[in-house]
Structure 1
């Protein structure tokens, strides 16, 4: 049984980067005799380690489970350099270096999907599998239109205003109420600040332009097994047309892997880690059995 008496997400650790930053991680060690890959989670664009709090303890029943905060999010130091996809993937590989030996299963939600794909392509030999949850994917044409980009700019501007007013977390109150008290306190203290919006804007400057280049030359994942989990419902800014296109892109991504799976989280919109963590944990467990 996993001991989470001190904190639901385990013990804190600090990952030093080559340029002197420190990235905050939390580790649940898993069963003492587990011979399974380590599972490392990558959150969405403005999310921290706390977004995995309903998934990580379930995974830790089978394997070591590690969450971390990207630079400028949660407790991790901000980054003075541009937050390009390559920069974020390099940071993730530094996290993996810190927690060697592998192999690793990488789990990415939303914008975290491209980050784990790029990190895995750089060092495929130590990656046992990927689980992508409602990922941002270059196969979705809608991402690159002017309407989507205007919507993104509006959302970031509105979010900045709400953060200054202390109201950014209001839409998430119902979902957060289901989380353990220690995680909810972390979320409320760290997850809805002006610094989070600054980091999101920094990440967004080049994210879609970089992702667009993948349409001609996507990161090569070789034979790495890939499971893609799509939300089955609209909401959180995704109407029926966008949801349909997103899920089609997810099916396409899974089909590129020789061991690909596409799964629908029927009761969820975009925030599957909070609304159907059991679906994610079950798919990770399947990969761990073959990893």
Structure 2
């Protein structure tokens, strides 16, 4: 396990594969059948993981790779027992990519001893690389990130998200609906943008004031959680408790904003 990591090598590897996808963006026909969709998604995974493994294996020969499968809820309830591993969301927002819509990124996290140690989110369309190392701050390209310091909810942009959890058996749909209603009634602007990690990075950058989600989505969150935290955001559950791996909700914002949100919802 390397205490010091070669950050430029990681960023270059992520940028390289992101730019491969940028070159091919909108070149494939939008899929019209489930078979076509699954084929394109499989190709995205293969291209991304092959490129990253090839470029990072020499520098990190002993670090294993794990798939950040957001469809497998059980695998998201706890980190892998491996002491150190890469967790890759080959493309966060892949549906947008195949639909020829902006809002897709390459996300990579180095998990160490059950916690995100280094994470990167690359948005090729904007040429913006968000990254953070545990205890060392968060950055966009080479500029430090700063969370929003707004005080009025009527000026704030709040986003809500939802994952692939089964919403038919546990009243989750009603909970999500109540959350959206609370946001619409109290915040100036409410959006649902798509790529979870990028939205959390935007909280760190001060572009989004609050992120909230009511179901488990650890693998989609984990890269952005470290970036937002290192930029100064609070990482909580919607009950107001400190978030830990496997929790089934997420609330991320400046401390003063989470306090206002929790007061509204309680």
Q: Shorter-chain TM-score: which interval?
A: under 0.3
Structure showing the higher helix proportion among its residues: 1
TM (norm. structure 2) is 0.28
Structure showing the higher strand proportion among its residues: 2
TM (norm. structure 1) is 0.26
Instruction: Identify the structure with bigger relative contact order (alpha carbons < 8 Å, sequence gap 6+).
Output: 1
